[in-house]
Structure 1
Amino acid sequence: MADLDSGSSTAHPAAAPQAPRKRRLLRPTLIMLAVVLLIVALIGGVKFAQISKLIAQSKVPLPAAVVTASKAQYQDWQPSVAAVGSIKTVRGVDLTTEVGGIVRSIGFKPGQEVAAGDLLVQLNADSDIAQLRALEATAALAGTVLKRDRAQLTIKAVSQAQVEADEADLKAKLAAADQQRALVAKKSIRAPFAGRIGITAINPGQYLNPGDKIASLQTFDPIYIDFNVPQAQVQQVAIGQSVTVSADGLGQQSFSGRVSSIDTQFDPNTRNVTMEATIDNPKHSLVPGMFARAVVASGGNQRYLTLPQTSVTYNPYGTTVFIASEGDDGHGQKRLSAQQTFIQTGPTRGDQVAVLSGLKEGDLVITSGQMKLKNGSPVQIEERGAPLNDPAPTPQEH
């Protein structure tokens, strides 16, 4: 027992120093925990301040984007097919000669209006006329011989075969005279139809070979325009429909006519068909070879909502416009904001596009500045510099 007591008494002094050691180990842990908590509190405070600042900034109204706008309105619309083409004469020819000869006289001036049958060029035909006179005399003699032999036949002085030979001889000599008479006529070159004659390069005394060009002869009123129409639009055009033609260099002049012919086949390369219209040209303003624009009126008048073409945005997922509508900006104030909407477009003319669905009359549609907009963007309407909404625009010089 004494040993046990002494043993236990010796154990207590060894255990006593462990308590201060535990306290020494616990103190650094508490300090580190306090430092971590302080760091977390600092980070949280910074983040709270940043979030509070962002929230405060989000309450500031965004600046309005400056755009232009116009109201969608109904307008009368004449469906049409537009094309480009070339002016061509109803009648036109390069004058030439069938026979050769020396030019004796010229009966026209370049640019002169001539009538059908007017003498234009006279070639030297003296020898041909002399030959004609000889052949006419020979034919006259053959006629006299035939008359005499027919009288002789009544008294059986000549045979029937002789009279028949005389008749054949007279016909041959008359034919030779007619042939020579035609040759003489070819030495007088006349206008085959009425029109305006062009510039010539021939002069009196010059020898003309058969086929040499003398000048061009053209008719100007009426005149043709040939133009091409795509296969998809062919059914909109028919013979007799009215056509309006304009050309560069003629100012605001326009010329009216009607479709007179449609080709019987399409071009296999372009899938276009050629059409021809006859145009009134009383002042001869349209000249063969000119480049011109043709607009064919197809069908009756329609009424469409119209917009400037600049207001429409074409995307792979559809056609859209931005409508400027009034609403609350979130701070109790009224502001215009942009709202994107899908539309279906129809035909176009000039600066305009027809809207078939998606809008109503009076909608305020943004016409420029859409690239910087999204749904709900505040906008400010600027009147100056707005795109035109003109069915027949002309270049504007500033």
Structure 2
Amino acid sequence: MKRFVLLLLVAGLAGGGYYGYRHYYNGGEPARASAPAGPRTVPVEVAAVEVMTVNEEVEALGTLAADESIVIAPEIAGRVVALGFREGERVKAGQELVKLDTAILDAELKQAMADLGLARDTNDRLKGLVSRGSGTQVALDESAARLASSEARVQLAKAKLAQSTLVAPFNGVVGLRSVGIGDYVSVGKQLITLTNIDPIKIDFRVPEIYLSRVKVGQPVQVRVDAAPDKPFAGKIFAIDPVVDVNGRAIRLRATVPNPDLALKPGLFARLSIIVDQRENAIVVPEMAVVPDGIGKMIYVAENGKARRVPVELGKRLPGKVEVVGGLKPGMQIVTAGQMRLRDGAAIAIKDAIVRTSQL
């Protein structure tokens, strides 16, 4: 029995050795399972290079200010008898705002006119007498002086009467009043404010390096926190000829149309000024840019392969970036899967695969 078992064991070892020799060796060398199928492709996503207009902008902060703002105050004392406005409403130039009582002024004017008439008649009679040789030149000179004085008193009475009515010197919006009908006001008492905020002004500063790139009439975009979703367009109105030595900045003033009075003086504003505009600029998705040891690069899809192209970047946009050197219009760039690529690697565009499968 032992011999029989030993014989079976030897036969099994011999059969296994023969099987291994036939399947794993061929002429004394290891047999190769199969030949390589070809270079391995990397699935990627691509996008076309965009061509668009890119604006080079400088950001600034500023404060809104009224185009004109004054305090309406009387030049003479008197009692208020009428108000020709409502608080917060628009008024036009020449519109009556406050009217003072003129009873005393009217009487003073009538008296001055009567004195003037008498002085004129007296002067005319003295002229006749002097011409006939029965009057004196001294009396005529005194009469002429009284006539001139009477004329001056008439002019003064008329000026005071005109000052009894306060009118708007320009178009604007009146503020809150501090006077009412029946109040007695003294000379110089502040009654109301008149403000012109259409257009409205913005004072701001930019670094001195932009001195040669800003000019009068240049457009600006304005945003305020009070209306964050509504941009406003304006223009540079004036540039201060003196550079601020403390901040090394240029002081500028812009005007913004404000027909609906949405902008108010004192608001904080953010401005954007276009200092340069580049037509036909090349723009790519920001995700397509890959950093390397010395700069930035992008993979370009050409003839089923990825070509590594060093690029020079320009202005950054939301989700995109301008390329100022390295790419040309019409190129297909890799936007996804580029981290597994190397220069010259074979690629398979996912979009093309999906379209083929759908057909």
Q: TM-score, normalised by structure 1?
A: 0.63
Partners of 2:195 and 2:170 lie apart in 1 by: 9
1:175, CA displacement in angstroms? 0.9
2:116/2:151 contact within 8 Å kept: yes
Equivalent in 252, 256, 260 of residue 275 of structure 1: 252
CA distance in 2, matches of 1:212, 1:143: 39
Contact 2:76 2:163 in 1 (8 A): yes
Matches within 5 A, 1:15-54: none
Q: CA deviation at 1:146?
A: 0.7
Tell me what 2:324 maps to.
Answer: 356
Task: Identify the residue that residue 146 of structure 2 maps to in structure 1.
Answer: 169
Residues 323/79 of structure 1: CA separation in 2 closer, same or farther (3 Å cut): closer
Q: CA deviation at 1:281?
A: 2.4
Which residue number corresponds to residue 131 of structure 2? 154
User: After the TM superposition, which of the residue ranges 75-84 and 267-276 deviates more from structure 2?
Assistant: 75-84
Q: CA deviation at 1:300?
A: 4.4
- Aligned ranges 1:141-220 → 2 under 5 Å: 141-220=118-197
What does residue 62 of structure 2 align with?
85
The list of structure 1 runs, each at least 4 consecutive aligned residues, that deviate by more than 6 angstroms after superposition, is 68-71, 308-315, 373-376
1:233 Cα deviation (Å)? 1.4
Task: Tell whether 2:267 aligns with 1:297.
Answer: no
User: Residues 305 and 355 of structure 1 are in contact (CA less than 8 Å); yes or no, is this contact kept in structure 2?
Assistant: yes
2:100 — aligned with what? Answer: 123
1:62 aligned residue: none
Q: Matches of 1:248 and 1:89 in 2, distance apart?
A: 18
Pairing partner for 2:313 from 338, 342, 345: 345
Distance 2:173 2:200 in 1: 13
Does structure 2 retain, via aligned residues, the 8 Å contact 1:324–1:366? Answer: no
The C-alpha deviation readout for 1:46-105, integer Å capped at 9, x for no partner, is xxxxxxxxxxxxxxxxxxxxxx99876433213333322222232222222223333222
> What's the offset of the Cα at 1:312?
7.7
3-state SS of paired residue (2:217) = coil
How many angstroms apart in 1 are the aligned matches of 2:319 and 2:172? Answer: 40
CA contact (8 A) 1:322 1:366 kept: no
Q: Deviations over 1:221-263 (max 9, x none)?
A: 3332222121111211111222333333335433333322111
Corresponding residue SS for 2:323: strand
Matches within 5 A, 1:307-322: 320-321=295-296
Deviation of the 1:215 alpha carbon: 1.9
Of 233, 236, 250, the match for 2:210 = 233
Structure 1 range deviating more: 83-92 or 110-119: 83-92
Letter of the aligned partner of 1:356 in structure 2? V
**Distance across 1 between alignment mates of 2:133 and 2:291:** 105
Match of 1:134 among 111, 133, 147: 111
- Cα distance change on mapping 1:168 and 1:350 into 2, 3 Å: farther
Please name the residue that 1:394 is paired with. Answer: none
Residue 236 of structure 2 aligns to a residue whose secondary structure is: strand
Aligned position for 2:77: 100
Give the number of the structure whose alpha-carbon radius of gyration is greater. Answer: 1
C-alpha separation between the residues in 2 aligned to 1:300 and 1:176?
Answer: 66
Q: Percent identity?
A: 26
| Count of residues in correspondence between the two structures | 303
Call closer, same or farther: CA 1:349–1:88 in 2, change over 3 Å.
farther
Is 1:261 the counterpart of 2:229? The answer is no
Q: Measure how far apart 1:350 and its partner are.
A: 5.2
Structure 1 unpaired stretches of 5+: 1-67, 327-333, 368-372, 377-398
Distance of 1:158 and 1:248 partners within structure 2:
83
Change (3 A) 1:93 1:71: farther
State the alpha-carbon separation in 2 of the partners of residues 260 and 268 from structure 1: 22
In structure 2, distance between residues paired with 1:269 and 1:310: 41
Counterpart Cα distance in 1 of 2:219 and 2:145: 61
Partner of 1:79, secondary structure, is strand
CA distance in 1, matches of 2:71, 2:285: 49
Alpha carbons of 1:348 and 1:123: their partners in 2 closer, same or farther (altered >3 Å)? farther
| 3-state SS of 1:98 partner | coil
User: Structure 1 residues 301, 220: closer, same or farther in 2, change over 3 A?
Assistant: same
Long gaps (5+) in structure 2 = 1-44, 343-359
* Pair 167,303 (structure 1): closer, same or farther in 2 beyond 3 Å: same
1:133 to partner: Cα distance: 2.1
Q: Deviations over 1:345-393 (max 9, x none)?
A: 33345565433235665433679xxxxx8998xxxxxxxxxxxxxxxxx
- Give the letter for the 1:140 counterpart: G
